[in-house]
Amino acid sequence: MTTSPLALPFPALPDVAGVRIGTACAGYKAWTRGDVLLIEMAEGTAVAGVTTRSRCPSPEVELCRARLGGGRARALVVNAGNSNAFTGEAGRAAALAQGEAAARLLGCEAAAVFQASTGVIGVPLPVDKAVAGVTAAQAALGSADWLAATQAIGTTDTFAKAAVSHAMIDGRRVALVGIIKGSGMIAPDMATMLGFIFTDAAVAPALLQAMLEAANARSFSCITVDGDTSTSDTVLAFATGAGGGPVLREAGQPGADAFAAALADLCGQLARLVVRDGEGATTLVEVQVAGAVDDASAHRVAMSIANSPLVKTAIAGGDANWGRVVMAVGKAGEPAERDRLSIRFGHVLVAEAGAVVPGYDEAPVAAHLAGDEVLVSVDLGLGQGQARVWTCDLTHGYISINADYRS
Amino acid sequence: MTTSPLALPFPALPDVAGVRIGTACAGYKAWTRGDVLLIEMAEGTAVAGVTTRSRCPSPEVELCRARLGGGRARALVVNAGNSNAFTGEAGRAAALAQGEAAARLLGCEAAAVFQASTGVIGVPLPVDKAVAGVTAAQAALGSADWLAATQAIGTTDTFAKAAVSHAMIDGRRVALVGIIKGSGMIAPDMATMLGFIFTDAAVAPALLQAMLEAANARSFSCITVDGDTSTSDTVLAFATGAGGGPVLREAGQPGADAFAAALADLCGQLARLVVRDGEGATTLVEVQVAGAVDDASAHRVAMSIANSPLVKTAIAGGDANWGRVVMAVGKAGEPAERDRLSIRFGHVLVAEAGAVVPGYDEAPVAAHLAGDEVLVSVDLGLGQGQARVWTCDLTHGYISINADYRS
């Protein structure tokens, strides 16, 4: 797999106090790379999470949902190469067995083990490989770094995706590190692909959950590669508290705003990294919608544009075909009036009041479209609602990757 | 443009009493083919129509909607190569001028002229070419046949698409002839691309409208190529009454059921022809959903499958990747339970009760996928709701056609 032309280099990431990383090769596919990740976390670690809205979630997703109620985590286990989704009782039993093995190895409750699996749907996770894999990863705890962790959760990803942010809480600098995987089947719809966030800050589970949901609404829920939503989408945030300092319990507390902002920043970085690795992507596209009747309506119009194959192929071809943006606004099913609509590519006004602008010059627009980051902005002229989403172009690469993924 | 591998030969079509056809070349693009169609219809012709649900309709669509209220038509004018959509006052004035020119030439009211335009969005219809074109088409009335008519309304279509059906009314055999264009930007959503139906039967406008809406709901509204809905989608049905016989006024009247069935059959044929010419299509895909809570829910699940890029690329690759069907069911936002779901490719049961069937043999499924017509059927196991929709696969051809359409 060729590295995405939109790839960013793997960032320098700090250690997070209270986090130990181990990886191993369970061999879910015919490969020798790491495909099991085990992360052990300090006692008392708080956890929050958001998961797919798919009606057909994987057993790992169901286990995460059940265990999030406890608010505490000691371990994260991730398998790559097999999503274990739609695998019936056999898949559920395998997920339970792997979680119990991890709990036994770490001396914790199974309810404190959070699991995720990613890969082909419909093949039960092979329980022997899964247990042997997590056992080997436990033996390797402390020997792996963030890069190894990120590589061990990837599937069709063409580059390792991670990000860092910081916040000052009570005079201490806390770190937030996130790792993420995802390239196709991306339209998380209030949930996400697999993303894991770790911080040494001390945050109560309920506040961490509220902050993660708010960050998610403006990051993972605002990206789409192909409009397809995975059965396994999961983002978990872990706050070990091992960095010391006061426990954040309420939004109004000193440091809480700073932490929420750092978390939102981190989620935004991670979400855009997924789009940068969109299958076949050659252009990162930001779609801004303003002037909608409310923010939710703006979001749906933005997603209609961002998911339109005709808009995405036009951008792939460097074609300033703004008529396709009109089409995508028109089909969104949201309040819109042709004669109030204006459209910009980059910062160039292309159309307003129901028609192309007088003396429209396509040259600066074509120059903008020739770059690898494109901005499409639409003003509906109706109200104050706005939204911002990210997608990528639709290219031959997407077809090549997906017309024969399993072979 | 290479002819679609799914193309059907142009059928033998009867003349329809009360219909005269003329075509001309207005030269909307750099071509010499016919691009203006004028059809003159007998006095008293009834008309019915359905149009796009886009919030950004073309002026021609708005004129059709306004004029449908009268229930009577004398002429149809179609331009190909320029959709005249999103062109503001200039576009509206051009459409009005062309309609008035046709009315003058035919000696009828402008309100009895129905117009449609298809092609690039955002460029006002050049009024001089439009008036000269319809004038030349009027001079040619009677000289063109159905094939010439169909060719004159095409844009990216790779073959001429038309169909015929018949009904017995009061011992007379009436003919219904339909012509259609469309290849991309196809997801009509209760409306359709450009399709025109002509019959010599006598049908009151209100009944014709009701029958067309019913037929539309199971044909044009059940197809998708790319999930993109045009600003210009229009289907009009014209009943000249020139074949003689009683006027159909009510659903219960003798012959009304036969006519409705013939109309539904014709619309189904035309709709599937559009999918057969889907941009880049190499496989015609029928998606059947049963066991939904109601028919509307079944339709949305079926469309979620039919619009999924991952399902469509899997079919393009001949890959029996039923996990992507699970994904598309899961993301539809409709009631579905993983453990009640069953999936078939062709007539082979692949998965049921939340998992792959025991001893699943992929060979017969792969053989079915190697054909050029594929059936995907899903039973949700919840209720009696069902739906049937048609789509095509998503291939490199789609990207090639759309990444640089305007050049």
Beta bridge partners of B355: B352
Looking at residue A228, what is its pLDDT? Answer: 85
B402: nearest CB among A313, A328, A341 = A313
| Contact (CB<8Å) B231/A330 | yes
Cα–Cα distances in Å, from A94 out to A74, A129, A237, A387, B43?
20, 10, 24, 41, 74
Looking at residue B402, what is its pLDDT? Answer: 85
pLDDT tier, B394 (very low <50, low <70, confident <90, very high otherwise) = very high
Beta bridge partners of A194: A181, A234
**For residue A265, which phi and psi values (nearest 5 degrees)?**
-60, -45
Interface test with B, best of A52, A83, A121 (most B CBs within 10 A): A121
**For residue A168, which phi and psi values (nearest 5 degrees)?**
-95, 120
Q: How many CB atoms lie within 10 A of CB A341?
A: 25
Looking at residue B222, what is its pLDDT? Answer: 86
Question: Looking at residue B48, what DSSP letter applies?
Answer: E
Token duo for residue A91: 């898949």
Tokens 């996928």 correspond to B369
What ipTM was estimated for this complex?
0.83
Average pLDDT over every residue of B67-93:
94
pLDDT tier, B232 (very low <50, low <70, confident <90, very high otherwise) = confident
- CB proximity B333 to A under 8 Å: yes
Contact status, residue B324 vs residue B308, Cβ threshold 8 Å: yes
Q: Which alpha helices (H) appear in A11-72, and where do they start and end? A: 59-68
Q: Which of A12, A18, A143, A132 is nearest to A77 (CA)?
A: A132
Contact status, residue A24 vs residue A292, Cβ threshold 8 Å: no
| Contact (CB<8Å) A403/B227 | no
CA angle centred on B186, ends B19 and A308, rounded to 5°: 155
Contact status, residue A310 vs residue A292, Cβ threshold 8 Å: no
Looking at residue B403, what is its pLDDT? Answer: 86
Residue A271 to residue A391: CA distance in whole angstroms: 10
**For residue A279, which phi and psi values (nearest 5 degrees)?**
-60, 120
Q: What is the pLDDT of residues B317-350, one digit of tens each?
A: 999 889 999 999 998 989 998 889 999 999 999 9
Interface test with B, best of A304, A315, A327 (most B CBs within 10 A): A327
Residue B124 CA, distance from chain mean position: 24
| Contact (CB<8Å) A124/B355 | yes
Its CATH architecture, for the domain B19-276, is 4-Layer Sandwich (3.60)
Q: How many CB atoms lie within 10 A of CB A268?
A: 20
Looking at residue B407, what is its pLDDT? Answer: 43
Residue A341 to residue B121: CA distance in whole angstroms: 14
Q: How many CB atoms lie within 10 A of CB A396?
A: 17
A319: nearest CB among B123, B351, B406 = B406
Residue B255 to residue B260: CA distance in whole angstroms: 9
Q: What is the pLDDT of residues B30-68, one digit of tens each?
A: 989 999 999 999 999 999 999 888 888 899 999 999 999
DSSP letters, A201-219, are: S-B-HHHHHHHHHHHHHTT
Residue B351 to residue A85: CA distance in whole angstroms: 12
Contact status, residue B277 vs residue B184, Cβ threshold 8 Å: no
| pLDDT above 70 (res B108) | yes
Q: What is the dihedral of CA A356, A360, A361, A367, to 10 degrees?
A: -30
Query: What separation, in Å, do the N-terminal and C-terminal C-alpha atoms of chain A show?
Result: 13
| Contact (CB<8Å) B404/A317 | yes
pLDDT tier, B404 (very low <50, low <70, confident <90, very high otherwise) = low
Contact status, residue A102 vs residue A77, Cβ threshold 8 Å: yes
Burial class (CB in 10 A: 0-12, 13-18, 19+), A347: exposed
B122: nearest CB among A123, A230, A322 = A322
| Contact (CB<8Å) B55/A336 | yes
How close, in Å, is residue A147 to chain B by CA atoms? 29
Residue boundaries of the structural domains of chain B? 19-276, 284-402
Nearest CA in chain A to B394: A399
Q: How many CB atoms lie within 10 A of CB B361?
A: 10
CB-facing half-sphere around the CA of A14: CA atoms within 13 A: 15
Q: Which of B211, B166, B181, B159 is nearest to B271 (CA)?
A: B181
Looking at residue B192, what is its pLDDT? Answer: 58
| Contact (CB<8Å) A400/B399 | no
Looking at residue A407, what is its pLDDT? Answer: 43
Look at the pTM and tell me if it is higher than 0.95: no
User: In which residue ranges of chain A is pLDDT below 50?
Assistant: 407
Average pLDDT over every residue of B105-134:
95
Cα–Cα distances in Å, from A105 out to A11, A66, A102, A198, A236?
31, 21, 5, 21, 22
How close, in Å, is residue B105 to chain A by CA atoms? 30
Residue B365 to residue B367: CA distance in whole angstroms: 5
Interface test with B, best of A117, A228, A301, A308 (most B CBs within 10 A): A228
**B-chain residues near A404 (CB < 8 A):** 317, 319
Residue A398 to residue B356: CA distance in whole angstroms: 27
A35 Cβ contact list (under 8 Å, min separation 6): A24, A25, A26, A27, A28, A29, A79, A80, A81, A133, A152
Residue A261 to residue A263: CA distance in whole angstroms: 5
User: Residues, chain B, total?
Assistant: 407
| pLDDT above 80 (res B116) | yes
Residue B314 to residue B308: CA distance in whole angstroms: 10
> How many interface pairs between A and B have CB atoms less than 8 angstroms apart?
230
A391 Cβ contact list (under 8 Å, min separation 6): A223, A224, A225, A275, A278, A285, A287, A306, A307, A312
Token duo for residue B376: 């995907």
- CB proximity B189 to A under 8 Å: yes
| pLDDT above 90 (res B101) | yes
CATH of domain B284-402: 3.10.20.340
Tokens 């001079």 correspond to B139
Tokens 């880049």 correspond to B280
Residue A325 CA, distance from chain mean position: 25
